[in-house]
Chain A
Amino acid sequence: EAGVAQSPRYKIIEKRQSVAFWCNPISGHATLYWYQQILGQGPKLLIQFQNNGVVDDSQLPKDRFSAERLKGVDSTLKIQPAKLEDSAVYLCASSLERGGTTEAFFGQGTRLTVV
């Protein structure tokens, strides 16, 4: 079974530029998450989708971050404009359903460096 796919693996941009990350979850997984992992810290949830609807985006800096999940499958996370403090690994995860004890599977992440 294919895992969660993310691209690109690495991205370096200058501050104030824009960047987008892409995630393809495991086939059939209804729930999709984006986490931000700053170096030396644990991942922090940015946004959670159930199919193509947003369940939780309370931690998403909406003045610069946006995310969408068209057709309830692939998702993109965008930062515009980027700041130095956005340097982090952006992890996408998916799970079969919301609730219960369903395991979340993580992609390898996109490492963003803002210079």
Chain B
Amino acid sequence: GNSVTQMEGPVTLSEEAFLTINCTYTATGYPSLFWYVQYPGEGLQLLLKATKADDKGSNKGFEATYRKETTSFHLEKGSVQVSDSAVYFCALRFNAGNMLTFGGGTRLMVKP
């Protein structure tokens, strides 16, 4: 079946540090890939997405590139802020079904 694996957290960084959160997937076919973010006390929000190989999704300084050869969709940001502290979820979806399959989430803590 389809699955998503993320690096375990928490990831603790100082402000302005470089961020990478690894995400790999297993799927039959070529899904769309997503990163969702969950801020404390809030619902899941779509952060960025990519729908085909080599696409790069970007938003709010975050980027992720759809790598078919390594079945990966790693999240990166060049300089994190305290306000980026949240839980980040990688997910995949096949368009026909529209159901999201999520990874386990990675908690990011950014210290001033």
Contact = CB atoms under 8 A, between A and B. Distances in A.
A77 to B, nearest CB: 16
Contacts, number: 57
Given A101-B32, A104-B100, 10 more contacts: A33-B99, A42-B103, A42-B105, A44-B102, A45-B99, A45-B101, A48-B98, A101-B49, A108-B41, A108-B43
Contacts of A108: 41-43
Interface residues on B, range: 20 to 34
Interface of B: 4, 32, 36, 41-46, 49, 51, 89, 91, 95-105
Interface of A: 3-4, 31, 33, 40-45, 48, 56, 91, 93, 95, 98-104, 106-109
13 contacts: A33-B99, A40-B104, A41-B104, A42-B104, A45-B101, A48-B98, A100-B95, A101-B32, A104-B46, A106-B36, A106-B43, A107-B43, A109-B43
